[in-house]
């Protein structure tokens, strides 16, 4: 398979301890899942959305639209049950192409929950971090593979972990570290088939906590939805977000609550940075192999639990209900094929109306006026909706919230503008037609009465 499909030998490349020693240390000092699969055999977008909604309306990196109504997300569920949460990005005001939350229609309702990396660091250090937090890297630190430098992501991750472990919240915290998708790398383990569909390629899951088992490998079948299942399980028995979460295994076998462990603070020998926004000097860390392995906190032969295991506990087995009974994607009307056909039909109507014989009586006829008003107002409503949605000038909440104000506003504008524009254009066309007829009479030197009787003139 080397070089299959013209990809060259790099199709079987992988990172070694020289490059990812900090990740190896984390996996050995805490817990690692070796049976954790992405939900989609695809790229980032659908897999990323599963982290928040256990559902994706896209199968590749495109969109939005379609959108996920925000009320179908774990964000809405947590708010409904009064569990605090936050999402932390390098800058929530950055280009929307970098923000995975752009797929959630109505997310602005929760804008106060979307904050920056510096907010996360401050809240960790003063003990005010929400109960559930998502901390997202930027494109330079996401360790997504070539041509990016994985060292940048390792340094950023170690800074986040050290900050949490040195903070007052450490004794009640668990950190789940995973990747949205596999980055194109080869894996010899085929994805399992669930409900007739294959999962995506395996990715790591590292579980860090004062109660995480040391040097533990979980064989539990897990996906991104399992992390939502853990949230629903842990915070007072919340209902499963949806049916997918209901049937997903909960990552419970990683924990041993009979003892609490001291934090493992990474020293300056590791690629550490001065603050969360800095990048390390690559030339100082050309070989990280000397950083692995660390000395275990508990000698491996003295661990009070097996180093391998699994758990098949699901929310369904625990009798949980479901928060979202059915997931539906939302596509604004203006982006649907039906809307395109509507515009085509209206264009045909307008074109047909413009070909009608013109006289003053017909110009003032009620059906023509009604046709102009209806067609004009619908087009104005459509254009208004398209502009406001694509520019982000207006952001209505909910999966139908944008319809009444956009359509009503568009119709009112159309009701005023299009009759005036339509009547003006019709008069101009009549004038051109009248002048053309007059010039024809003059050039042929016909008698005036004959010319008048054959010209299409307005009725006086």
pLDDT tens profile 103-143: 999 998 999 999 999 999 999 999 999 999 999 999 889 88
Q: How many separate helices (H) and strands (E) can be counted in the chain?
A: 12, 12
> How does the average pLDDT of the chain come out, rounded?
81
Q: Any idea which of 12-16, 235-239, 287-291 has the lowest mean pLDDT?
A: 12-16
DSSP code for 41:
S
Any residues with CB less than 8 A from the CB of 140 and at least 6 apart, and which?
A: 148, 149, 152, 279
Over range 409-417, report the average pLDDT.
52
The structure tokens listed for 260 are 């609490």
Residue 288 corresponds to which tokens in the numbers above?
A: 């990280």
CA angle 410, 412, 416 (to 5 degrees): 115
- Going from the C-alpha of 389 to that of each of 54, 73, 143, 393, the distances in angstroms are 26, 21, 33, 7
> Quick one: pLDDT band at residue 237, thresholds 50, 70, 90?
confident
Beta bridge partners of 178: 205
What percentage of the chain exceeds 70 in pLDDT?
68
Bigger pLDDT: 336 or 401?
Answer: 336
- Nearest Cα neighbor of 243 from 147, 326, 312 is 326
Which range has the worst mean pLDDT, 14-18, 86-90, 368-372, 415-419? 415-419
Name which residue leads in pLDDT, 99 or 71. Answer: 71
Distance (Å) of CA 99 to CA 47, 114, 165, 173, 332:
14, 11, 27, 25, 20
pTM of the model: 0.77
pLDDT of residue 403: 45
Listing DSSP states for 226-251 in one string gives HHHHHHHHHTTSPPBSSHHHHTSBP-
77 has pLDDT over 70: yes
Please write the tens of the pLDDT for every residue from 145-174. 666 789 999 999 999 999 999 999 999 999
Lowest mean pLDDT among 70-84, 137-151, 411-425: 411-425
8 vs 165, more confident: 165
* The pLDDT of residue 350 is above 90: no
C-alpha to C-alpha distance for 450 and 409, rounded to whole angstroms:
51
Q: Where are the domains of the chain?
A: 17-309, 333-454
Question: Given pLDDT bands bounded at 50, 70 and 90, which one contains residue 93?
Answer: low
Q: For residue 456, what are its two tokens?
A: 């299409």
Question: What are the beta bridge partners of residue 206?
Answer: 32, 177
pLDDT digits (tens, 9 = 90+) for 247-256: 999 999 999 9
Radius of gyration of the chain (CA): 32
Percent of the chain exceeding pLDDT 90 equals: 53
pLDDT at 455 over 50: no
Select from 3.40.720, 3.30.160, 1.10.10, 3.30.1330 the CATH code of 17-309.
Answer: 3.40.720
* Cα-to-chain-centroid distance, residue 115: 16
Give the pLDDT of residue 366: 59
Please identify which residue in the block is written with the tokens 């996920």.
68
Q: How confident is the model at residue 392 (pLDDT cuts 50, 70, 90)?
A: very low
More confident call, 380 vs 116: 116
Residues 31, 229, 163, 156, Cα dihedral to 10°: 80
pLDDT value of position 457: 35
Q: What is the mean pLDDT of residues 403-431?
A: 54
Say what the pLDDT of residue 160 is: 97
Q: Is the pLDDT of residue 452 over 80?
A: no
- What DSSP assignment string belongs to 93-130? TS-GGG-GGGGEETGGGGGGGEEEHHHHHHHHHHT---
Mean pLDDT of 335-360: 60
pLDDT grade for 343, boundaries at 50, 70 and 90: low
pLDDT at position 50 over 80: yes
Cβ 206 vs Cβ 239: under 8 Å: no
DSSP string, 61-88: S--SSSBEEGGGSHHHHHHHTT--EEEE
Hey, is 268 helix, strand or coil?
coil
- List pLDDT tens digits, range 259-276: 999 999 888 788 889 999
CA angle 108, 110, 116 (to 5 degrees): 95
DSSP 275-299: STT----GGG-S--GGG-PPPPSS-
pLDDT recorded at residue 186: 81
């Amino acid at each position: 398979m080397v070089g299959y499909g013209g990809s060259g030998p790099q199709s079987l490349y992988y990172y070694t301890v020289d490059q990812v020693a900090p990740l190896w240390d984390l996996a050995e000092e805490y817990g690692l899942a070796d049976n954790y699969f992405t939900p989609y055999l695809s790229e980032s977008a659908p897999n990323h959305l599963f982290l928040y909604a256990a559902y994706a309306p896209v199968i590749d990196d495109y969109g939005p639209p379609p959108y996920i109504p925000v009320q179908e997300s774990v964000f809405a569920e947590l708010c409904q049950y009064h569990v605090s949460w936050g999402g932390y990005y390098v800058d929530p005001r950055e280009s929307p192409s970098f923000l995975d939350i752009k797929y959630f229609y109505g997310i602005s309702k929760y804008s106060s929950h979307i904050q920056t990396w510096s907010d996360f660091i401050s809240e960790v250090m003063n003990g005010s971090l929400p109960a559930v937090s998502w901390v997202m890297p930027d494109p330079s630190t996401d360790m997504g593979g070539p041509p990016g430098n994985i060292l940048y992501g390792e340094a950023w991750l170690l800074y986040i972990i050290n900050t949490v472990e040195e903070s007052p919240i450490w004794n009640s915290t668990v950190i789940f570290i995973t990747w949205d998708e596999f980055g194109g790398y080869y894996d010899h383990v085929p994805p399992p088939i669930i409900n007739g569909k294959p999962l995506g390629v395996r990715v790591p899951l590292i579980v860090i906590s004062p109660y995480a088992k040391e040097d533990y490998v979980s064989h539990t079948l897990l996906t991104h939805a399992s992390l939502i299942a853990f949230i629903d399980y842990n915070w007072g028995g919340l209902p499963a977000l949806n049916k997918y979460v209901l049937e997903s295994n909960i990552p419970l076998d990683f924990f041993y609550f009979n003892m609490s462990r001291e934090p493992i603070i990474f020293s300056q020998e590791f690629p550490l940075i001065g603050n969360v926004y800095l990048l390390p000097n690559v030339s100082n860390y050309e070989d990280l192999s000397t950083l692995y392995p660390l000395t275990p906190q508990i000698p491996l032969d003295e661990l009070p639990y097996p180093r391998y295991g699994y758990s098949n506990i699901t929310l369904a087995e625990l009798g949980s209900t479901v928060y979202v009974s059915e997931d539906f994607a939302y596509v604004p009307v203006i982006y649907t094929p039906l809307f395109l056909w509507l515009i085509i039909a209206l264009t045909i109507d307008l074109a047909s109306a413009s070909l009608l014989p013109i006289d003053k009586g017909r110009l003032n006829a009620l059906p023509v006026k009604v046709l102009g008003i209806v067609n004009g107002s619908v087009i104005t409503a459509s254009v208004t909706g398209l502009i406001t949605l694509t520019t982000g000038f207006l952001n209505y909440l909910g999966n139908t919230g944008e319809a009444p104000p956009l359509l009503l506003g568009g119709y009112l504008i159309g009701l005023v503008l299009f009759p005036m524009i339509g009547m003006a254009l019709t008069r101009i066309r009549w004038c051109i037609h009248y002048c053309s007829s007059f010039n024809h009479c003059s050039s042929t030197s016909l008698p005036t009465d004959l010319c008048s009787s054959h010209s299409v003139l307005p009725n006086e």
